[in-house]
Amino acid sequence: MKPERSQELFDRARLSIPGGVNSPVRAWRGVGGTPRFIARGQGAHLFDVDDNEYIDYIGSWGPLLIGHRHPEILDAIQEALTRGTSFGAPTELEVELAETIRAMVPSMQMVRLVNSGTEATMSALRVARGFTGRDITIKFEGCYHGHVDSLLVKAGSGVATLGLPDSPGVPKGFSDTTITVPFNNVEAVEEAFRAHGDKIAGIIVEPVCGNMGCIPPNAGFLESLRRICDQYQSLLIFDEVMTGFRVSPGGAQQLYNIRPDLTTLGKVIGGGLPIAAYGGRADIMMFVAPSGPIYQAGTLSGNPLAVAAGLAMLRHIQNNPGIYDQLNRNTSLLAACAPENVTVNRIGSMMTWFFTDQDVTDYDSAKTSNTAQFGKFFHAMLERGIYLPPSQYEALFVSAAHTDADIERTVDAAKESFAIAVS
C-alpha cells in the first residue's frame, strides 16, 4: 500500500495550503506518515489515488450514517441540480427540512439553517447571550465546538491532536467570557455558578463527547446541568453536531431524555453536504432577526443542494428505524475485540479505543492514553485496509453500509494490530 501518488499530492499541497490540508487533523500529525488523498467512496469503502481500498470508519467525520454515495442522497442532489444551485431566497424544501427537524428533535421548536457546525455554535452562543443579557459561557475541557474565538479554550479535536495551547489570534477579552471546567464534574459546574451565576448566559456541552475521543456522560451528569441552568435561569445548549441523528433518531437528548434550551446540529443533517442548524425554544428563537434584534445571516444558508441531501437523509432515518439496531450491534462487535489493557468507550455507532488501562471520563483521563501505541495501531490497521481516524483523540463512526463481512474483517485486523501496538 505505497502512497506514492498521495505523497506527490501532499508535497504539492504544502506549497499552496497551510500544512497541506484544509482541516488540521487530516495532516496525520497525531500518527505520522503520509495522509491518503481520496479518489472516491462507495458504501463503507474508500479508494485512494494510489488505488488502495479501505474499509472506512471516519465517514467524513460522522455525516455518512448510511455510507458513501447512497442512491437516495444522490438522487435528491441530482433532482435539486435540475432546479439550480443557489437562489439567496426561500425555498419549499427549507420549510420541509425545518419541519422534519422539529418532528425528530421536539426541543427545537424553531430552527435556523446555517452552513457549518462552527457557525451553528457561534450563533447559538450569540442567541444565548442576547436572550439572557449575560456574557459568560461555561464549556468543558476537551469539548470542541468549532473554531469560535470564545470556545478555543482547552478545546479537543485537532487542538488536542496537535498539542496546541489555546489558539493565538484569540483576544484575551474573548476567552475571558468563557469558564472551562472538567467534563463529568458536577461540583466544578456548581462552584462556577456560585461564583458567577448572575453573569452566566449558559452551558454549552457535547452530551456525548467526540472530540477527545468518545466519552459518554456519567449517570446524572446531564440531568445536573439541566437542574443548575434552571436554578440560575441560564440556558442549556447541547452541541449535537456530532451526536444528532447519530446516536438515536432524536440525538443524545432523546437517548438521555434531557430537553436542552438550544441545540446545534450538523454532519448527519446534511447527508455529506455542508449544512448545519441551530434551534430551540420558540420564545428564545424569536429573538433572532428578522423576528428579533439578534442578528445572524448567511448568503448560502439553506443551500438547495445541501437541503435536498439533508432531507433525503432524515427521511431515510424515519423510514428505516431499524438501522440503529444494526449500527449498535456492529459497533459493539468492534468494541468487544479490544484487549484488557485498552479502554473502550462506545455510545451507539460512536466509539474510541483508548490505549490506556484507566477509565476515560474526561480530558485528563483521555490524555493518559499512549499515543505512540495508538500510532502503531493506526498504521497496522491501515496496512490491513482499515481506515481509522488519525488521532487518539477522535471517535470512529460505523455506518449502516458496513456489512457483516466488513465488521468481521475489521475485528480480525484489530486483533492483529493490537498485538503489534502493545508489544
What share of the chain has pLDDT > 70, as a percent?
A: 95
Domain boundaries, the chain: 1-30, 71-319, 322-423
Q: Tell me the average pLDDT of the chain.
A: 94
Residue 58 has pLDDT above 60, yes or no: yes
Q: Which of 173, 131, 113 is nearest to 306 (CA)?
A: 113
Catalytic residue among 56, 57, 256, 267: 267
Q: Residue 47: what pLDDT?
A: 98
Q: Residue 2: what pLDDT?
A: 85
- pLDDT tens digits for 100-147? 999 999 999 999 999 999 999 999 999 999 999 999 999 999 999 987
Say which residues have a Cβ less than 8 Å from residue 331's Cβ, sequence separation at least 6: 346, 348, 349, 350, 351, 398
Residue 247 has pLDDT above 70, yes or no: yes
Residue 267 a catalytic site member: yes
Q: Which of 45, 157, 355 is nearest to 36 (CA)?
A: 45
Q: Residue 166: what pLDDT?
A: 60
Please check whether residue 236 is in contact with residue 115, taking contact to mean a CB–CB distance below 8 angstroms.
no
One-character DSSP codes across 166-197: SPTTS-HHHHTTEEEE-TT-HHHHHHHHHHHG
Residue 182 has pLDDT above 70, yes or no: yes
What share of the chain has pLDDT > 90, as a percent?
A: 91
Please check whether residue 206 is in contact with residue 215, taking contact to mean a CB–CB distance below 8 angstroms.
no
Looking at the DSSP bridge assignments, the partners of residue 420 are none
pLDDT (average), residues 400-421: 98
Distances (CA, A) of 220 to 76, 91, 186, 214, 243: 41, 42, 9, 18, 18
Higher per-residue confidence, 221 vs 148: 221
State the pairing for strand pair 350-354/343-347: antiparallel
Assigned C-alpha cell, 408: 468481521
Residue 56 a catalytic site member: no
HSE, side-chain direction, 13 A CA sphere, residue 388? 31
* Euclidean distance between CA atoms 404 and 423, whole angstroms: 29
Q: Residue 72: what pLDDT?
A: 98
pLDDT band at 153 (very low <50, low <70, confident <90, very high): low
- pLDDT tens digits for 21-49? 999 999 999 999 999 999 999 999 999 99
- pLDDT tens digits for 275-315? 999 999 999 999 999 999 999 999 999 999 999 999 999 99
Q: Residue 176: what pLDDT?
A: 80
Q: Residue 14: what pLDDT?
A: 97
Report the chain's C-alpha Rg in angstroms.
Answer: 21
Q: Residue 154: what pLDDT?
A: 57
Say which residues have a Cβ less than 8 Å from residue 307's Cβ, sequence separation at least 6: 80, 91, 93, 94, 97, 113, 275
Catalytic residue among 144, 256, 278, 363: 144
One-character DSSP codes across 185-242: -HHHHHHHHHHHGGGEEEEEE-SSB-SSS-BPPPTTHHHHHHHHHHHHTPEEEEEETT
Q: What is the DSSP letter of 352?
A: E
Q: Where are the extended beta strands (E) located within 100-147? A: 110-114, 136-140
Q: Please state, as a whole number, how many other Cβ atoms lie within 10 Å of the Cβ of residue 67.
A: 19
CATH topology for 71-319 is Aspartate Aminotransferase; domain 2 (3.40.640)
Q: Residue 128: what pLDDT?
A: 98
Q: Residue 161: what pLDDT?
A: 42
Looking at the DSSP bridge assignments, the partners of residue 40 are 47
Q: Residue 167: what pLDDT?
A: 60
Q: Please state, as a whole number, how many other Cβ atoms lie within 10 Å of the Cβ of residue 386.
A: 21
Please check whether residue 311 is in contact with residue 96, taking contact to mean a CB–CB distance below 8 angstroms.
yes
pLDDT band at 228 (very low <50, low <70, confident <90, very high): very high
Model-wide pTM > 0.85: yes
Residue 179 has pLDDT above 80, yes or no: yes
CATH topology for 322-423 is Aspartate Aminotransferase, domain 1 (3.90.1150)
Query: What single letter denotes the amino acid at residue 421?
Result: A
Residue 239 a catalytic site member: yes
Q: How many helices (H) and strands (E) does the chain have?
A: 15, 14
CA 211-214-216 angle, to 5 degrees, is 115
Q: Which of 141, 56, 18, 96 is nearest to 304 (CA)?
A: 96
Q: Residue 162: what pLDDT?
A: 43
Catalytic residue among 56, 239, 261, 406: 239
